[in-house]
Every structure is written in structure tokens, then in C-alpha cells.
């Protein structure tokens, strides 16, 4: 279980990283903390010819207060987010705290997690619910996509082969905003079997409810979210959640359905109690 041979570079700046990726399209991969890519290399499931290590690029390691939003560099580790004080961005720290184990959080990065796009991962669920934008760099310069549209499916994203996630920008919450985030893991540190995120920010007229750990990308439950904004937690009745779930994830077996209903209702409960 050793990786096939590959080349490794650690460019000095973002431009160098982009250039290195563009130099071998399809055969180069950016390396963040390596917490997913590492095992995939060793299992020889991923066989890039070149690894472009972006984990030490200063420009991607910054957490910046941009007034109405927090900009988190793509190479910022989960534990750095966990440890940061982020007024208006508190959910980022609490979500980070729940990712895997601290040793993984010490290396794993937010950009890497998004780019890897595991359906059960935390950031692909939390960031759309928070209304974040993903900043992408490539040979054509920088572009942005919403976190809600970034992930296309299991391990599939809006990234082209020569692009990488530079940062995410997360709008700050209003003082009265309520956040709910609940996931079910079979054991500490595992990927969840069901997860849900709720943001109710009346001041900004935002109500979002997302459900994760499905077969593909996390999914929004827009109607139910709107109803929550109107009626509060009562809107998330067993039946209402079940119907909303049926629309976004019709293929669940009865046990999975039960678990996802529970995830949604418990996330809602957190945000409305």
C-alpha cells in the first residue's frame, strides 16, 4: 500500500502553483493537508504524476475580516478555524471542531475538503447553508462560484483540472441569527451517516436548510426553510421533513430515511429552541 511514483513541487506563490497545475493538465493535483489524497495515493486510487503542494502558501493560509464577510484561505486548516475567534462566523469554528479528530484537523484544509467533495463531509454542507462563495484560481485568473453550486456530486465539483480553491468567503451572521448543525456519526471522527444544517437570519432575510450525507452533493430544502422562517420549529414536523426529504433524496431505505429525518429535525431544534 505504497503510492506509485510521483513528482512533488512546492511553489513559492499562487501564480507558481497555478502554473505548475496548468503545466500537466489532468496529471497534476494540488496537495493540501493530504488527509484524503494521502490514503488515495497509497491505495493507488489516485495516481497523479505531479503533486503541487499549496499547504504552505501564505496567501492561502490567512483568515481575514473583510467587514461583511470572513475570508478563509483555502489552505487554512480545520484546527486553525476551530481555534479562531470569528465574530459573526461562529458556526465555522463549531463545524470545524466536529470534523474527524484533532490530528486530522491539524492537517486537513477547508479548500482541500471542498475540492475532494466527499458527500458526507462537513464543509460541503455547512458552507452552502452559510451562503458562502468559493474563490477559484486557474490559468484564466480568479473566478467565484457559490458554495451552493460548487459541488456537483460525489467527488465532483466546479473545479477544472487546472484550478484550485484559493479561499472561501462567508457572510457574517446578524446578531440574532440562529444556526443549527447536527450530524450522526457511528463513532467519533467518522464521516456522518446523516447530517443537516440550518441558518435562520431574519435580519438578513435568510433562511436555509441543507441536508447532507446523501449519495451525491448536499441538498437544499428551500420550501421547508421558508416555512421555518415563517412558523419557526413547528414547521419541521415529522411529516413535513419526510416529504421534503422525499423530494431531495427519494432513494433512501426506511432506516436511512429515519436517520435523515432525525438529523434535519435536530438541526432545526438547535436553531429554533
Partner 1 sequence: MSEEHGKPGQGIGARVPRKEDSRHLHSLGQYVSDTVIAGQREVAFLRSPIAHGRIRGIRKPPGSEGRVFVREDLVEAKDIVATSSLPSYKLSGQPPLAHGKVRFVGEPVVMCVGRTRAEAEDLAEQVQLDIEELPALVDSEKAIAEKNVRVHEDWEDNLFLTLTADNRFDELSKKATVVVSRQVELSRQAMVPMEGKAVVAYWDERTDQLVMYYSTQTPHVVRTGIAQFLGIDEGQVRIISPDVGGGFGYKVIVHPEELAVAWLALKYRKAFRWIEDRREHLISGANARQHRYDMTAYADDKGRLLALDARIVIDGGAYSNWPFTIGLEPGQATGNLPGPYDFQGYRCVTQCVATNKPGFMPYRGVARTGVCFAMEQMMDAIARAVDRDPYEVRMDNLVRPEQMPYDNVVKKHYDSGNYPESLRRAREKLDADKWIARQKQGEPDGRKIGIGYASYCEQSAHGTSVFATWGLPLVPGYDQSAVKLTPDGGLEVRVGIHSHGQGMETTLAQVANEILGIEVQKIKVTHGDTGTTPYSTGTYASRSIVMAGGATINACRELIPRVVKIGAHLLGCKESEAKFEKGRGVVGPDGKLMDLKEICTVWYLRPDRAPLDVDRRGLEVSVSYKPQRDTGAFSYASHAVAVAVDTETGQVEILDYVIVEDCGTLVNPMVVEGQTIGGVAQGIGTAMYEEIQYDENGQPNASTFADYLLPGPTEVPHLRIFHMETPSPYTEFGIKGMGEGGAIAPPAVIFNAVNDALRMYGVEVSKTPLTPHRLLEAIERAKQITQPKREAA
| Chain residues that interact with partner 1, rule: CB under 8 A | 1-5, 39, 43-44, 184, 186-191, 193, 253-256, 258-259, 261-262
Comparing CB distances to partner 1, the nearer of 58 and 190 is: 190
Nearer of residues 60 and 261 to partner 1, judged by Cβ: 261
CB of 153 to partner 1, least distance (A): 19
Determine whether 67 is exposed, middle or buried from the number of CB atoms within 10 Å of its CB (0-12, 13-18, 19+): exposed
Taking the complex as a whole, how short is the minimal distance between the CB of residue 175 and partner 1, in angstroms?
30
Q: What DSSP state is assigned to residue 86? A: -
Query: How near is the Cβ of 99 to partner 1 at its closest, in Å?
Result: 15
Could you tell me where the beta strands, DSSP code E, fall in 76-140?
Answer: 133-138
Give the residue from 135, 155, 152, 153 showing the smallest Cα distance to 144: 135
Question: Closer to partner 1 at the Cβ: 3 or 9?
Answer: 3
Do the beta carbons of residue 120 and residue 195 sit within 8 Å? yes
Which of 270, 69, 104 has its CA nearest to residue 96? 104
Q: Which is nearer to partner 1, 178 or 265 (CB)?
A: 265
Smaller CB distance to partner 1: residue 128 or 192? Answer: 192
Shortest Cβ 69–partner 1 spacing (Å):
34
Q: Which is nearer to partner 1, 190 or 246 (CB)?
A: 190
Q: 44: left (phi > 0), else alpha (psi -120 to 50), else beta?
A: left
Shortest reach from residue 255's CB to partner 1, in Å = 4
Angle at 110 between CA 107 and CA 116, to 5 degrees: 95
Residues 137 and 114 sit within 8 Å (Cβ to Cβ): no
Q: CB of residue 151 vs partner 1: minimum separation in angstroms?
A: 19
CB 202, min distance to partner 1, A: 28
Which residue, 93 or 256, has its beta carbon nearer to partner 1?
256
Q: Which grid coordinates belong to 32?
A: 493540501
Q: Does residue 197 contact residue 227 with C-beta atoms inside 8 Å?
A: no
Closer to partner 1 by CB, 22 or 249: give it.
249
Beta pairing class for 69-73 and 133-138 = unpaired
- Could you give phi then psi for residue 140, rounded to 5 degrees? -85, 5
CB of 197 to partner 1, least distance (A): 17
With beta carbons less than 8 A apart as the criterion, state whether 244 and 223 touch. yes
Residue 191 CA to residue 118 CA, distance in Å, equals 9
Amino acid at each position: 500500500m505504497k503510492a506509485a511514483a510521483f513528482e512533488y513541487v512546492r511553489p513559492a506563490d499562487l501564480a507558481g502553483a497555478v502554473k505548475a497545475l496548468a503545466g500537466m493538465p489532468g496529471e497534476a493535483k494540488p496537495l493540501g493537508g493530504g488527509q484524503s489524497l494521502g490514503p488515495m495515493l497509497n491505495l493507488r486510487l489516485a495516481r497523479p504524476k505531479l503533486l503541487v503542494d499549496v499547504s504552505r502558501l501564505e496567501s492561502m493560509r490567512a483568515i481575514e475580516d473583510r467587514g461583511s464577510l470572513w475570508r478563509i484561505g483555502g489552505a487554512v486548516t480545520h484546527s486553525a478555524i476551530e481555534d479562531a475567534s470569528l465574530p459573526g462566523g461562529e458556526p465555522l469554528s463549531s463545524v470545524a471542531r466536529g470534523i474527524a479528530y484533532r490530528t486530522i484537523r491539524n492537517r486537513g484544509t477547508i479548500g482541500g475538503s471542498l475540492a475532494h467533495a466527499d458527500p458526507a463531509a462537513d464543509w460541503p454542507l455547512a458552507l452552502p447553508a452559510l451562503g458562502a462563495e468559493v474563490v477559484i484560481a486557474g490559468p484564466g485568473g480568479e473566478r467565484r462560484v457559490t458554495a451552493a453550486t460548487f459541488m456537483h456530486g460525489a467527488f465532483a465539483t466546479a473545479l477544472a483540472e487546472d484550478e484550485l480553491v484559493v479561499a472561501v468567503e462567508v457572510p457574517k451572521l446578524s446578531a440574532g441569527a440562529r444556526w443549527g448543525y447536527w450530524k450522526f456519526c457511528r463513532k467519533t471522527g467518522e464521516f456522518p451517516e446523516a447530517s443537516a444544517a440550518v441558518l435562520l437570519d431574519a435580519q438578513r432575510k435568510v433562511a436555509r436548510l441543507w441536508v447532507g450525507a446523501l449519495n451525491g452533493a448536499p441538498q437544499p430544502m428551500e420550501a421547508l426553510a421558508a416555512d421555518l422562517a415563517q412558523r419557526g420549529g413547528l414547521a419541521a414536523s415529522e411529516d413535513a421533513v419526510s416529504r421534503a426529504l422525499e423530494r431531495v433524496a427519494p432513494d433512501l431505505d426506511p432506516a436511512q430515511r429515519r436517520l435523515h429525518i432525525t438529523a434535519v429535525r435536530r438541526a432545526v431544534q438547535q436553531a429554533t429552541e
